[in-house]
Amino acid sequence: MENSELERFMRLAIIEGRKAIAHCRPNPPVGCVLARNGQVVASGYTGAPGQPHAEAMALQNLLDPSAEVIAFVTLEPCSFHGRTPSCAQALVKRGIRTLYVGMIDPHPKNRGAGIDILKQAGAEVVVGLLENEVRKELEAYLWRPDNGESL
């Protein structure tokens, strides 16, 4: 895939993430796009607390579960089971072989662990695609005014 095409899919994931802004707090507004043969085949965004995250929603929306797809996600998939299962594990279970991530999740419970899960399962993980744009979209999540901490 050409770089311009990769960026197009990540920009679509950013747009998906915007759909989550009104209801996802305290979770970040993450977007995910699944692509195959240069076409978007599914997408998703983070739901309200306790609802599926972007990756899980995109996987649920995938009409052909046997299709080999490339995943684009704005923020590193979560590695741990909180209110919802690990998105990194869901991507591994689905057999995602290639994942583009906008940026590493700065949250101390996840920072790099989601990527490690995918890499250990043999997936190619490329981090930093449109990172500056993603960082700007997630700015409110990266600075937590409720506790004054920067993540």
Out of 16, 55, 76, 137, the active site residue is 55
Per the listing, tokens 């930093």 go with 128
- Please choose, from the candidates 38, 29, 87, 83, the residue with its C-alpha nearest in 3D space to the C-alpha of residue 60: 87
* Count of C-beta atoms within a 10 Å radius of residue 123: 18
Q: Which two tokens stand for residue 126?
A: 């490329």
Tokens 């076409």, located at residue: 39
Is 7 tagged catalytic?
A: no
* Count of helix runs (H) and strand runs (E) in the chain: 6, 7
Q: Is 98 helix (H, G, I), strand (E, B) or coil?
A: strand
Structure tokens at 35: 């692509």
Catalytic residues: 55
